[in-house]
Chain A
Amino acid sequence: MLRQIEGSAAVAATVACCRPEVICAYPISPQTHIVEGLSRLVKSGELTGCEYINVESEFAAMSVAIGASAAGARAYTATASQGLLFMVEAVYNAAGLGLPIVMTVANRAIGAPINIWNDHSDTMSQRDSGWIQLYAETNQEAADLHVQAFRIAEELSLPVMVCMDGFILTHAYEQVDLPTQEQVDTFLPPMVPRQVLDPDEPVSIGAMVGPEAFAEVRYLAHAKQMQALELIPKVAQDFTRVFGRDSGGLVHPYRCEDAETIVVALGSVLGTIKDVVDEQRAQGLRVGVLGITSFRPFPLEAVRAALSRAARVVVVEKALAVGIGGIVAANVRMALAGIQIHGYTVIAGLGGRPITKASLHELLTRARADDLDELTFLDLDWELVERELRRTREQRRSGPAAENILRDVGIIAARVK
């Protein structure tokens, strides 16, 4: 069913088709429209058999989902940024307990300084939480990944995070082929939990495990993610069979076959990068792009297969591991172990900074000349940065960096006087 629809609304409508039984909601931008949409669907009676719970924090949201899932209900919530961090303890717990919760994360920066716009700092911080992480390139894929997420989560008994870029996707109106209830019912069977709180068959869930077995339990969590590496492509194939379109899977190579330079990225920026690749291909330049859909589990083999014949790899990522550099890049390097390829890490789009075609063209030109630093910050205002560095060298109590920079930029200069 083709609709011109906001990304959040498309996700809400799709999640509703997945027949969730418990939805817990706490507002945080830019996720809020999703739970608002679901609230309307439950309240109006369009979505039946579903409890919608307004909780008092994200920590409670994930905790309610944990309880609901352990009692055998299909549980869903959505969050972003600070909200994801506020629920971190429960995020790890849900994975450790093996509960098939599905959560949308509308990717947003993490403060301080507070910033509501898009980057991947939030979900990247949870890459080792034990959740499966799928990154959507478009609103169509965001909607589709949710249907697949429930299926993957429930087959493996593992929680799945569907990551979609805040504002860029969540607030964008574009055409989405919404899954129909009939299609979803064909694709997604009712939840049959692997463990459940049932008075007829009492079990203790969440017991303490000491050094005698903890490592084994952790290994099994890893083994489950390795199983997901096999399951995710199968689920994507099955999805294509039922819905008639490609969505999901582990990676999306684009014009990589004979590419000398391959850009690697996650999420909505892939659209811009593909346009740049097309334009450079038109100039006869051998360039391609590899989109990573499944960041956890990380598809080492698929990434290696896609990149191993390239001369150089440019990883464009919307998060920064402060003190070292790239996060995605470090994972890509593991995939390329033993292969000599020029690798560049490009930190871009932090806190909503636009990643423009012009900047990407220039970036790729410099990459081709191997004239890039190993760690590059796209469109960084060096003058601004150096002024602040100078200030901190000269004056011990030079004030908060973010405020100083804003004053330099001049946005608030008029008000500060």
Chain B
Amino acid sequence: MTTSPIKFYQVGSFAVGNRLLDPQHRSVQSDTGRSNSINSGHRACQGCGEALGARYALDAAMRATDGKLVAVNATGCLEVFSTPYPETSWQIPWLHSLFGNAPAVATGVAAALRAKGREDIRVVGQGGDGGTVDIGFGTLSGMFERNDDVLYICYDNEAYMNTGIQRSGATPPAARTMTTQAVGPNPGNTFGQGKNLPLIAMAHEIPYVATATVAELRDLEAKVEHAMSLRGARYLHVLVPCPLGWGSASGDTIKVARLAKESGIFPVFEAHDGEVSSVSKIRRRVPVEDYLSLQARYAHLFNPTRQDEVIARIQAGADRNIARFGLLDEQTEVAR
């Protein structure tokens, strides 16, 4: 995939849908003819990162497939807030079966389409981190291993938010959830646990694995578009802040996602056939504290007393990501 970021100095960000761009470079979302795959009027919380990510990802997939798309959804926030009976936000064919089987159901849809000679219709599976890294992991690994023609998108908000903020295998260390409460000698989630699903997906040597955040939506669109140009099993892991579960301001969703990337906490990269093929460099490096301090789930690291040792451990994790994925280059600025 070849994309070159264009910096808009007027706003200081990689703005989306800027009309200064040539039409072919404009985002899918800026196109008034976008499909609105998940339409407005759904019941997501204010500032929901998952709703934002799903909207951009699916509209991009719709454009890439010329509107020939079927979505399969795991149980979770995205499913619940989009389809409370008798309403639905989905403007595309959409199927929800269970919490732990979306990848297998997507396999079934793809198989049916192949049997019917309708491989022009493409399949996207999607779920949250609980549905993906925990309960749906077996079916996801099976789908990867068979190289079924499915793009699976995980909207990772790092806990079971739909059931009220419980720890998942994607919950980061020290984070407070309702099942890793901020009490006792080691408050929050335990260090040394959890799994990195993008790396596990890469170990299956599937054609395409990528990570993204809702801070860089144009990047997300481009990755979806690229994924839809490929056949076989593809995996996209999107970091989507959850204001409710993270205790961040609704208006800070994009900011928090950006700080996750810019601190090195969440590496943004692509991999083809099991090998990392590109990374999104950190533009302006920040300490993890900038990221943590915006979120009440880490409040116990700062109040009543500052937990320097714990913050340092989290910083060490981010530094490891930076070294491992080579997230810095000569253009990276360092804040402070």
Binding site for B on A (CB under 8 A): 21-22, 24, 49-51, 53-57, 59-60, 63-73, 75, 89-90, 93, 97, 197-199, 201-210, 212-213
Q: Are A213 and B114 also in contact (CB < 8 A) when A56-B139, A63-B98, A199-B67 are?
A: no
**B145: chain A residues within 8 A (beta carbon):** 56
Smallest CB separation, A221 vs chain B (Å): 16
Q: Are B111 and A199 in contact (CB under 8 A)?
A: no
Smallest CB separation, A93 vs chain B (Å): 5
Q: Are A60 and B101 also in contact (CB < 8 A) when A22-B108, A65-B108, A73-B111 are?
A: yes
Q: Are A207 and B115 in contact (CB under 8 A)?
A: no
Complex CA–CA separation, A181 to B111 (angstroms): 24
Q: Are A56 and B121 in contact (CB under 8 A)?
A: no
Which range holds the interface residue count of chain B? 35 or more
Q: Give the segment of B78-86, B174-182, B192-200, B230-238 that binds chain A.
A: B78-86
Complex CA–CA separation, A209 to B85 (angstroms): 5
**A51: chain B residues within 8 A (beta carbon):** 111-112, 114-115
State which of A53, A197, A199 has its C-beta within 8 Å of the C-beta of B146. Answer: A53
Q: Are A67 and B94 in contact (CB under 8 A)?
A: no
State which of B84, B90, B97 has its C-beta within 8 Å of the C-beta of A210. Answer: B84
18 new A-B pairs (CB below 8 Å) besides A71-B113, A199-B68? A56-B139, A56-B142, A57-B138, A59-B139, A63-B139, A67-B95, A67-B97, A69-B112, A70-B105, A90-B101, A197-B93, A197-B95, A204-B90, A205-B95, A206-B95, A207-B85, A208-B83, A212-B85
Nearest 5 pairs of A and B residues by beta carbon: A67-B108, A206-B96, A73-B112, A56-B142, A63-B104
B92 CB-CB contact with A under 8 Å = yes
**A55: chain B residues within 8 A (beta carbon):** 104, 107, 142
Complex CA–CA separation, A259 to B262 (angstroms): 84
Q: Are A22 and B97 in contact (CB under 8 A)?
A: no
**B207: chain A residues within 8 A (beta carbon):** none
**A69: chain B residues within 8 A (beta carbon):** 108, 112
Q: Are B88 and A67 in contact (CB under 8 A)?
A: no
Within 8 A of A (CB), among B173-211: none
State which of B69, B86, B91, B146 has its C-beta within 8 Å of the C-beta of A54. Answer: B146
Residue of A nearest to B120 (CB): A199
Q: Are A72 and B104 in contact (CB under 8 A)?
A: no
Question: Which of B67, B68, B95, B115 counts the most chain A CB atoms within 10 A?
Answer: B115
Q: Are A71 and B109 also in contact (CB < 8 A) when A208-B83, A208-B84 are?
A: yes
B172 CB-CB contact with A under 8 Å = no
Q: List 30 A-B contacts (CB under 8 A).
A: A22-B112, A51-B111, A51-B112, A56-B138, A59-B139, A60-B101, A60-B107, A60-B138, A64-B107, A64-B108, A67-B104, A67-B105, A67-B110, A69-B112, A70-B95, A71-B112, A72-B116, A90-B98, A93-B97, A197-B93, A197-B94, A199-B67, A199-B92, A202-B94, A203-B93, A203-B94, A204-B90, A207-B83, A207-B88, A207-B96
**B278: chain A residues within 8 A (beta carbon):** none
**B67: chain A residues within 8 A (beta carbon):** 199
**B92: chain A residues within 8 A (beta carbon):** 199, 202
Q: Are A204 and B111 also in contact (CB < 8 A) when A56-B141, A197-B70, A199-B67 are?
A: no
Residue of A nearest to B70 (CB): A197
Complex CA–CA separation, A21 to B113 (angstroms): 10
Question: Which of B101, B104, B105, B108 counts the most chain A CB atoms within 10 A?
Answer: B108
B318 CB-CB contact with A under 8 Å = no
Q: Are A68 and B108 also in contact (CB < 8 A) when A202-B90, A204-B83 are?
A: yes
Smallest CB separation, B86 vs chain A (Å): 8
Complex CA–CA separation, A50 to B117 (angstroms): 11
Smallest CB separation, B193 vs chain A (Å): 24
Residue of A nearest to B71 (CB): A197
Complex CA–CA separation, A316 to B112 (angstroms): 42
Complex CA–CA separation, A70 to B141 (angstroms): 22
Q: Are A66 and B101 in contact (CB under 8 A)?
A: yes
Complex CA–CA separation, A111 to B92 (angstroms): 44
Q: Are A60 and B139 in contact (CB under 8 A)?
A: yes
Smallest CB separation, A66 vs chain B (Å): 5
Smallest CB separation, A85 vs chain B (Å): 15
Q: Are A199 and B69 in contact (CB under 8 A)?
A: yes
Smallest CB separation, A187 vs chain B (Å): 21
Smallest CB separation, A71 vs chain B (Å): 4
Residue of A nearest to B113 (CB): A71
Complex CA–CA separation, A53 to B147 (angstroms): 11
Q: Are A22 and B95 also in contact (CB < 8 A) when A56-B141, A208-B80 are?
A: no
B267 CB-CB contact with A under 8 Å = no
Q: Are A206 and B97 also in contact (CB < 8 A) when A53-B107, A71-B70, A213-B85 are?
A: yes
Q: Are A66 and B108 also in contact (CB < 8 A) when A197-B70, A202-B91, A202-B93 are?
A: yes
Complex CA–CA separation, A89 to B135 (angstroms): 13
Smallest CB separation, B64 vs chain A (Å): 13
**A208: chain B residues within 8 A (beta carbon):** 79-80, 83-85
Smallest CB separation, B183 vs chain A (Å): 34
**A93: chain B residues within 8 A (beta carbon):** 97-98
**B112: chain A residues within 8 A (beta carbon):** 21-22, 51, 67-73, 75
Q: Are A49 and B115 also in contact (CB < 8 A) when A204-B94, A210-B85 are?
A: yes
B106 CB-CB contact with A under 8 Å = yes
Complex CA–CA separation, A407 to B239 (angstroms): 57
Residue of A nearest to B90 (CB): A204
**B68: chain A residues within 8 A (beta carbon):** 199
Smallest CB separation, A195 vs chain B (Å): 10
Question: Which of A65, A66, A67 counts the most chain B CB atoms within 10 A?
Answer: A67
Residue of A nearest to B104 (CB): A63
Residue of B nearest to A23 (CB): B111
Within 8 A of A (CB), among B134-158: 138-139, 141-142, 145-146
B72 CB-CB contact with A under 8 Å = yes
Complex CA–CA separation, A208 to B67 (angstroms): 25
**A72: chain B residues within 8 A (beta carbon):** 112, 116
**B111: chain A residues within 8 A (beta carbon):** 22, 51, 53, 64, 67-68, 73
B128 CB-CB contact with A under 8 Å = no
Q: Are B107 and A67 in contact (CB under 8 A)?
A: yes
Smallest CB separation, B109 vs chain A (Å): 4
Complex CA–CA separation, A235 to B204 (angstroms): 47
Complex CA–CA separation, A267 to B149 (angstroms): 41
State which of B88, B115, B141 has its C-beta within 8 Å of the C-beta of A204. Answer: B88
Complex CA–CA separation, A303 to B204 (angstroms): 55
State which of B72, B73, B97, B142 has its C-beta within 8 Å of the C-beta of A57. Answer: B142
B100 CB-CB contact with A under 8 Å = yes
Complex CA–CA separation, A24 to B109 (angstroms): 12
Q: Are A68 and B97 in contact (CB under 8 A)?
A: no
